[in-house]
Structures are given as C-alpha cells and as structure tokens.
Structure 1
C-alpha cells in the first residue's frame, strides 16, 4: 500500500472521528430542541462506534490509528517507521482540523448558537468545565486511560489475537473510557481529536490543549514500553 493512500486514509478516519464524536457531543449531546440529547451514554457510543466503523473501513489500508498517541506508541514498539510516523501524525491533525471546521460550519447554522469557551466538543478541565476537576485529575485520567487503551490495541492486534474482532474490541474500549472520563476532561486520549475543536474554540480550550497532547502521548509510550510483560507480539 502506498504511503499516500495510508496518509489519506488516516486523515479521512480522523476527520470522521471528530465529525461523529465531537458532533454528537456539541450538537446532539446537549440538545434542548427536538429529540432529547444523547447524554453521556450516547456521546460515548458515538466515539466508540466511529472507531469501529473506521477500523473496518480504513484498517486494511493504514491500520486505522486515527490518533497520534497510537502512532507514536506503534513507532516506539517498532511497528511503524519514523517516516510513516510523521506522515500519519500530520494527516491525523489535518483530518481533525477539517472535521472540526465542517462541524463549526454546521453548528453555526443552528438557532441561538454561541461559541462557548469549550465549544465544538473541546476538551478541558477546571471551573466551568463539566465536573470542574483539577488539572492533576485531568492529567492522570488522560495518561492512565490512554495507557489502557493502547494495551487493548496491542493485545487485540497481537499475532495470536483474532484480527476480525480487533476493531470491535478497540471501539468498545474507547466507549468504556468515555463513560468514565467525559465528566473529567470530555475525554481526549487522542491529541488530534483535541486539536481540531480547540483551534476553532480558541481561548481557554487552546490554552489547555497542551495537556491533551502530553498526557496521551505519555500514556501511549508507557504502554509501548511495558506491553512485552503481558503481550506476545
């Protein structure tokens, strides 16, 4: 498979993840007009199902990382070259930005739409953000749950695993992570997913973006380093 096809697939997959997941959070998740809002369960499932759908769509092309934390962890584990790592991360970030841009264009057409401090499903923490958790809680949650997410990915894609079930298991694990982490940070575990909405929201969402880059990357690298203890890959 050519590198261009792989990078294009990663951009498309991350675009879809942001549009489905952040769209569910910012448009359907808190809707007070028409059908009832999705709530925590619906938003969690939206992110998880988006990963399942993309895993079976672009997985055969690029592996469906759609997340820089996954790509960096795969590089540390020796499963992705440094050259491909750069291409993957750039494509993922561009896909996320385009996805957030499309979401912005759609959202601004709604009656009474306002760009709040954490608009378009942006991640954050502190006073005024969901459960008002501290930065420490936010950092620990993002690091630990990204670590667990990558352990699931390494385990379900190991040589003795069932490849047909990997996409489903990974998507379900992401939904489970959202069940717990949404009240804390809105759930990132994915620097690209956080980047796109933050660019359009600006302000405090952009100021807090660093945590959603550093913590997931640290969690992914940690998983890559300790996976050999549990997983024969």
Structure 2
C-alpha cells in the first residue's frame, strides 16, 4: 500500500495547491503565479514521495511508463486508482475551503476545472485544445522519462520535471487551463459539473495519447540512453 498511498497524497497535493492557487489566489497571483504553483507542488512531491512511488501523480504518466517498459499494467492500475481518488479528495477539500467565502459558488467561480470554447479563458476551439494537450503531455513525458532514465542526474529530476510543468502552464493556461493529467481534470470536473463533465473526455484521451507516444519512443530505443 505504500506506493498507492504516496500517489494519493502526491496527487491530492498537486490538485489542492495547483487548482487552489487559481480558485483562491488567482486574482492576486495571476497566470504566472498559478503556473508556478502547479510546478512547485510537483517539485515538492517529487522529493517527498519520489523515492516511494516515483511520483507519477498522473494516470497518463503511469501509462506512459507502461508504454516505455518501465512498469507493468498490473502495477499501473493501483497507481491510477490512487491518483484519481487523490484528485477527487483534493477537489472536495478545495470546494469546502472556497465555500467559506461568502461570495463564492462552484457554478460561478469554478474549481479550476479544464475546458475550452466560448466562455472559457482564451476561448480556443476543440481542435486547438486537443492538439495542445497531446503535444504538451508528449513533451512532459519525454522530460520525465529522460530525467529519470539511466545516466541522468537523479537529484535534478524533480526540478527538471517541475519546471517543465511550469512552462507548459505558462503557455497553455489560456488554451485549456492545462491538464496533461487526467486525474487533475477529473477531480474538479466532478464537482463543477455541466460543461466540465461534458468536456472531460478530451482531458482523459489527449494526455494518454501524448504520454503513451513518448513512452513508445523510449521503448523502441529512439530516445532512451540505455
């Protein structure tokens, strides 16, 4: 149970602090601050639980690791269950905290859910959203597999991965709010409901495609240093 518990805690932290930065502090820290909140949360967890579970805290990353041959699907399933559970728990806690403010409502202010189209941030269309999520997750997974591969300086892996998540957010928040992580999208969407649920498919499918594609490149040896 050590590894799933670590993944639960790690994903809980990422969603609570990342989405919480948007919901609670977004007006003060802006898109740059939100971007760093996600990245710094990941860096902290990478060093906090990395030695226990590898700190995937993302079902797409776990499936990418399977595609790369670094774990089996049987090992990945408990990871993914724990990650989704952690994200849902974090979204619930965030909603409980946010509703402590008199003028907050989930319907009006949201929970940092992902989306696209009319009324959502930069109002990008579904094609732009899908392409961004596939490509961003692919690049994210390349950094993860490269930074944790043979010969890479392991002490720097968490920093490299976390900073990559920061720059992905800096570029992509206006496009989709940035998922690159199905669990991060599932948690807030379940409580936000409506459009967030209707659009959730993209934030499950696109990150998985991107991560698995990167994993296959490493599995074939085209990118792997081994």
TM range (shorter): over 0.9
Residue 196 of structure 1: aligned partner: 187
Give distance in 1, aligned partners of 2:48 and 2:35.
20
Structure 1 residue matching 2:222: 3-state secondary structure:
helix
Quick one: distance in 2 between partners of 1:190 and 1:98? Answer: 16
CA contact (8 A) 1:10 1:65 kept: yes
Distance 1:188 1:136 in 2: 15
Task: Please tell me whether the aligned partners of residues 118 and 204 of structure 1 are also in contact (alpha carbons under 8 angstroms).
Answer: no
1:20 and 2:17 correspond: yes
Aligned equivalent of 2:103? 112
Q: Which runs of structure 2 are paired with 1:1-233 in the superposition (5 Å)?
A: 4-30=1-27, 37-116=28-107, 119-227=110-218, 228-233=221-226
Looking at structure 2, the residues matched to 75 and 183 of structure 1 have their Cα atoms a distance apart, in angstroms, of 31
Checking the alignment, whether the CA contact within 8 Å between 1:117 and 1:201 is kept in structure 2 is no
Deviation, structure 1 residue 144: 0.1
- The count of aligned residue pairs is 224
Deviation at residue 117 of structure 1 after TM alignment? 6.3
Distance in 2 between the 1:191 and 1:141 partners? 14
User: Tell me, what secondary structure is at the counterpart of 1:127?
Assistant: coil
Runs (5+) with no aligned partner, structure 1: 31-36
In the alignment, structure 2 segments of 5+ residues that lack a partner are none
Question: For residues 112 and 64 of structure 1, what CA distance do their matches in structure 2 show?
Answer: 36
How many angstroms does 1:115 deviate by? Answer: 1.7
Distance 1:118 1:147, change over 3 A: farther
Q: CA deviation at 1:230?
A: 2.4
Q: Which string of whole-angstrom CA distances, capped at 9 and with x for unpartnered residues, describes residues 165-208 of structure 1? A: 00000000000000001000000000000000000000000110
Q: How much does 1:116 deviate?
A: 2.8
